[in-house]
Amino acid sequence: MSTPIRASSVLPGRREDIELHTADGLRLVGELALPAERAPVATLLCLHPLPTHGGMMDSHVLRKAAWRLPALADLAVLRFNTRGTSSLRGTSEGAFDNADGERYDVAAAIEYAEFAELPEIWLLGWSFGTDLALRHGCDPAVTGAILLSPPLRYSAEEDLATWARSGKPLTALVPELDDNLRPAEARQRFAAVPQAEVVGVPGAKHLWVGDAETVLNEVVRRVNPQVAVPLPTEWDGPMETGDVSGYADRTVAAFADTPVPGPRPDERA
């Protein structure tokens, strides 16, 4: 009997906790999810939203990607907490560095994916994670990037120019009702990258609440076009239920655009 796929549904896959080690000496915590019984055809390397406002490797779209796409789309999904970021998986060493020191985090994740011989590495950045992708992710090992709700807060014209010169595919999924950057302005800003595709998503907001499935469909459409979309909304097979209870404070912080409870990033040990 088929069972509806819900927000907490975990479809079959091989999942392992991983550690990344940065060139400046930090240990970052993460997870790698793989298809259960076959090799992946492509890889999503996830870069999460702003950690000072609730972003982490378990932010809901990235979590759903890891819980569903190995089974539904034969994708590997690599998620990790950038420096100073916490989730149920643990806390990565270091402190938030306004997208500067995070260059080492992105490099460590790409290096891990290369060492693990993961195929077709695509960056999947969300909000702050899109700035990390644009600033630090145009690496020879990277196939392309998909940007969710790009604010272009930390990115500069030279970062867009780097992607333009690379010719690598770049897709920006821009919510119609985003508080930071809306589709019309996004098309103007990304015009600097000739190969960039800007997709406006009607009715969506920055946090993609209620629109995660739309995001996953658009991601799969580009990363593994052999898979039919929209993806199934039911699953005929074993399914587990994931724990999403530990994120109430961070979810509230993200929705309200307020700092997360606890010490400021620059006050962490």
Residues in contact with 183: Cβ distance below 8 Å, sequence separation at least 6, in sequence order:
174, 176, 198, 200
pLDDT for residue 242 is more than 80: yes
Q: What is the pTM of this model?
A: 0.93
Q: Say if residue 253's pLDDT is above 50.
A: no
User: Number of C-alpha atoms within 13 angstroms, CB side, residue 46?
Assistant: 30
State residue 263's pLDDT score: 36
Does residue 111 sit in helix, strand or coil? helix
Domains along the chain? 3-267 (3.40.50.1820)
pLDDT, tens digit, 9 for 90 and up, residues 1-53: 799 999 999 999 999 999 999 999 999 999 999 999 999 999 999 999 999 99
Distance CA 112, CA 106 (A): 10
Res. 71: pLDDT tops 80:
yes
Q: Are strands 86-87 and 75-80 parallel, antiparallel or unpaired?
A: unpaired
CB 258 within 8 A of CB 53: yes
Of 7-11, 86-90, 261-265, the poorest mean pLDDT is in 261-265
Q: pLDDT tens digit string along 172-200?
A: 999 999 999 999 999 999 999 999 999 99
> Which residues, at least 6 apart from 72, have a Cβ–Cβ distance to it below 8 Å?
11, 220, 227, 231, 232
Helix (H, G, I), strand (E, B) or coil at 172: strand
pLDDT at 262: 45
Q: What is the pLDDT of residue 135?
A: 98
pLDDT, residue 258, reads 53
| Confidence label for 268 from pLDDT (cuts 50, 70 and 90) | very low
CB crowding 7-39: b at 16 or more within 10 Å, else e: eebbbebebeebebebeeebebbbbbbbbeeee
CA angle in degrees (0–180, nearest 5) for 218-224-230? 45
* Measured distance CA(12)–CA(205) in Å, rounded: 30
22-36, 76-90, 215-229, 243-257: which range is least confident on average?
243-257
Reported confidence tier of residue 255, pLDDT bands at 50, 70, 90: very low
**For residue 62, pLDDT beyond 70:** yes
pLDDT above 90 coverage of the chain, percent:
90
Give the whole-number percent of the chain exceeding pLDDT 70. Answer: 91
- What does the pLDDT read at residue 245? 73
Residue 264 has pLDDT above 50, yes or no: no
